[in-house]
Amino acid sequence: MNAHHKTPEPDGPAGSAAARKLRTRYVCIGLWTAFTWSGEGNAPAWEHALRTLVVLLMLPPLLLWANRRLTHKLYESAHPGRVIAQLITARIVIVTAAFGTSIGLGYLLDPHTSRSPVLPAVGFALLLLSIPAQIRHAHRTRTRTTHPATRPALSAPRLMIAKLTLVAAALVTQLLLTPYLADATYVVAAALFLTTAALGPRVHRSFLVTQPATTNEEREREQEQERVAA
């Protein structure tokens, strides 16, 4: 059973750096969410919500699973370059599949609407441009002194509940604004970005859970207990 993991936030430069990274992460999440919502700007509000929901329901569980599995492998591997390539490839495939599914859903819902390839191309280009930052982050993760399994992890169910709530609120807001604003879609997209960027870092700790010990950790504990007993 996963339990809440509440640890004091680090003080000094380390704490400031961690806070900056967290804010940057939620700014990026907000941009992606707003980008997804604003796609097909002339579509009905329910279509924006459905397409965004598909992306948000696909990304958290798949990305968290891939990150957890491959980050552990990276920490223990003698060939980190190969594992880093696997990790980045998995992320690109998952993100592309999620947004591809969203775009395909748009075609199914409204096959007669002409769609510009600019936004999907820009999104994919940004994803590729993030590769150097991902490589640098992976190497930094490997140099940490604590195994990833010993640190709190993000809970996919909690993230999905939060995102479902966010999408539902965005849908209701757009339905209320549409009679009065011609560009209600973009107003809601901007609100999604601001909400995610501002509130995300504040509620982030509520998404964290402790992770169950891996088989290797259990074996190490048993060996340590045997040495103590001897």
66-94 pLDDT, tens digit each: 888 887 787 777 778 888 899 899 999 99
Give the per-residue pLDDT at 218: 47
Q: Quick one: pLDDT band at residue 14, thresholds 50, 70, 90?
A: low
Average pLDDT over residues 103-124: 76
* Highest averaged pLDDT of the listed ranges 49-58, 180-189, 212-221: 180-189
Query: What is the pLDDT, as a whole number, of residue 54?
Result: 84
pTM of the model: 0.68
Residue 163: which pLDDT band, with cuts at 50, 70 and 90? confident
Q: Which class for 221: exposed (0-12), middle (13-18), buried (19 or more C-beta within 10 A)? A: exposed
85 or 14, higher pLDDT:
85
Residue 217 has pLDDT above 80, yes or no: no
pLDDT of residue 145: 53
pLDDT, position 38: 83
Q: Residue 2: which pLDDT band, with cuts at 50, 70 and 90?
A: very low
For residue 18, pLDDT over 90 is answered with: no
- Does the pLDDT of residue 213 top 50, yes or no? no
Task: Name the pLDDT band for 3 (thresholds 50, 70, 90).
Answer: very low
Q: Which two tokens stand for residue 133?
A: 């930052």
Which range is least confidently modeled, 92-96, 171-175, 210-214, 222-226? Answer: 222-226
The pLDDT of 148-166, averaged and rounded, is 79
Identify which has the larger pLDDT, 196 or 15: 196
Mean model confidence pLDDT for the chain: 78
